[in-house]
Amino acid sequence: MAEMNDIYEKVMDVARRRGFVWPSSEIYGSVAGFIDYGPLGAMMKRNIENLWRSFYIVQEGYYEIECPIIGPETIFVASGHVKEFADIMIQCPQCGEYLRADHLAAEHGIEGAGALPAEAFREVLYELPCSACGERLGDTDVVSFNLMFETTIGPGSQRRGYLRPETAQGIFTDFPRLLRFYRDKLPFGVVQIGKSYRNEISPRQGMIRLREFSQAEAEIFVHPDEKRHPAFHRYADYKAPLLTIPQQLENKPPLTTTMRAAVDAGLIANEYVAYFIALTHRLLVEIGVDPARLRFRQHLTDERAHYAEDCWDAEVYSGRFGWVEVVGIADRTDYDLQAHARHSGTSMTVFIPYDEVKRVKRRRIVPDMGMLGPKFRGRAKAIAEALVASDPGKEGVTVVVDGEEIFIPADLYQVREEEVEVRGEEVVPHVIEPSYGIDRMLYVVLEHAYAEEMVGDEVRTVLRLPPAVAPVQVAVFPLMNRDGLDVIAQQIAGTLAQHGIIAQYDDSGAIGRRYRRQDEIGTPFAVTVDYDTKEDGTVTIRDRDSMEQVRVSIDALPATVCSLISGTTTFRKLRA
């Protein structure tokens, strides 16, 4: 096994050489925070995204939408990103490098520095060395830097826009239409996979911190008083390692417990959050994350967003980067829908009918327009609307119109007591959000899959990728590139492709070299056509991990390979 301290360099060497990932615009020097996915990386990324879809679209029944990556400024004013989406930044007075201040402080063991006021932050950083040049920072300004990429929409800079920092806002702004699509009933979920953009100050962590990255997000809209998941039985007995707030404060290891027990004990806020913790654990393990290096960390009270009821990060251990957040699972309450309702004036509510019609007494305010009109003229309508929404006292009521307080005496309106039928209520749904970082997931899977082992007198490098994630699922080799073996092998590769199997034909070099090449890119199975194939119509299937081989007939090959890839059979069973 590769040493943990050099695992990153070895993984990225394979990634660059074999066509997974490399720096973007490399011929011009490249820019930090941007990467290109090569042929194998792009395929592996799509496989991870499609596996994610199989969980959220096929299993959960949520529908996928696609929204623009550029949005007008009003969206991000409402969401709070224009005002709040910023990091603390400093510039080294010696080399001029821009640095993210809280990350620099954390590198030197200073926790919670991000919550300090600017003056206190300057004192903390005064004696620290610049991570770029090593010189002492000394006296330097601490400023707030908004992470959104700004652009203009249309000619003449008429409208300001931003590249989205997350995919979620498009779902929230589409809520009225999505509600109608789901026939005005809760709960329902909507998913989106796409690019997001954050103008990171100093991205130095390869694929872990990018300026352009892919997200897979689900927004599940639920009744605020009904957070019992209708299919919680699927994961009630599922166990996952939970690093709760008390365990963090007491420096204890994660607690492995069932989701049912965690909810009942109040460790997890509700069944929805617990459900998606379990689903996420299962999904991450299925794409190739080592379960021994996976945990779910609960946000501490001072780091959790003020509007969130509960928030957990799926963290995966990396030999280079330590514990890396790859998924966030949050109960965002009604914050987002309330914010867009206020700024847009659009209703973001759902009508929930009662089981039985209720009769309730209500006070109704009836403005006297005959007196309000002459007295207030053009403002009479606005004042009347404010009156209807007010709660007047005996003498009158003060209303606010266009920012001005206006006292309306009791003789300008009537208060009527009425008994009315109420058939239901309007509620603003709460939002449960599992948010996945696809690029981070891909990197940690590569790192966890990477292995080295001695085979004879040479080192074999292998990526132990699950078949559903591997960019090439089957390699097809002719033992020799002659005597018709190559023709048979090409025909087999074509047949496998017709069955939806990603097959790669390879006749370049010695057979042992071809095996090693496929091992290094994670191909789980290799089919070899030899001279026995011409005699009895069989081929060998080689297993990447055990390097064992078994012969099967060409006719049975597609079904056999499909079963191996899906996991409905194993290579060990095949050999029995």
Exposure of 333 in the CB half-sphere (CA atoms within 13 A): 11
Contacts of 272 (CB under 8 A, 6+ apart): 220, 222, 227, 229, 331, 432
Per-residue model confidence (pLDDT) at position 1: 45
CATH assignment of 164-349+428-461?
3.30.930.10
502 vs 176, 192, 553, CA distance in Å? 41, 25, 20
pTM, full prediction: 0.86
The pLDDT tens digits of the residues spanning 427-473 come to 999 999 999 999 999 999 999 999 999 888 899 999 999 999 999 99
The pLDDT tens digits of the residues spanning 332-385 come to 999 999 999 999 999 999 999 998 888 888 888 999 999 999 999 889 999 999
Per-residue model confidence (pLDDT) at position 510: 93
Per-residue model confidence (pLDDT) at position 157: 65
What 3-state class would DSSP assign to 223?
coil
The CB density around residue 263, as the number of other CB atoms within 10 Å, is 22
Residues forming a β-bridge with 351? 426
The pLDDT tens digits of the residues spanning 80-105 come to 998 888 777 788 888 888 887 777 88
What is the Cα–Cα distance from 238 to 329, expressed in whole angstroms? 17
What 3-state class would DSSP assign to 207?
helix
- Burial class from Cβ neighbours inside 10 Å (0-12, 13-18, 19+) for residue 233 reads exposed
Q: Pairing mode, if any, of strands 525-529 and 474-478? A: parallel
Where in the chain are the domains?
Answer: 164-349+428-461, 356-422, 472-575
Residues forming a β-bridge with 142? 90
Of residues 535 and 3, more confidently modeled:
535
The CB density around residue 59, as the number of other CB atoms within 10 Å, is 13
Which token pair is 126? 């005064």
Locate tokens 């994630």: which residue? 469
What 3-state class would DSSP assign to 431?
strand
Locate tokens 């090569």: which residue? 38
Strand intervals (E) in 120-236:
142-146, 150-153, 159-163, 188-197, 212-222
Check residue 287 and give left, alpha or beta (phi > 0: left; psi -120 to 50: alpha). alpha
Which token pair is 517? 């090449």
The answer to whether the beta carbons of residues 377 and 389 sit under 8 Å apart is no
- The secondary structure of the chain in percent helix, strand, coil, rounded to multiples of 5, reads 35, 30, 30
CATH class given for the domain over 472-575: alpha beta
The pLDDT tens digits of the residues spanning 28-80 come to 998 999 999 999 999 999 999 999 999 999 999 999 999 999 999 999 999 99
The pLDDT tens digits of the residues spanning 116-135 come to 666 677 777 777 888 778 88
CATH assignment of 356-422?
3.30.720
Residues forming a β-bridge with 361? 419
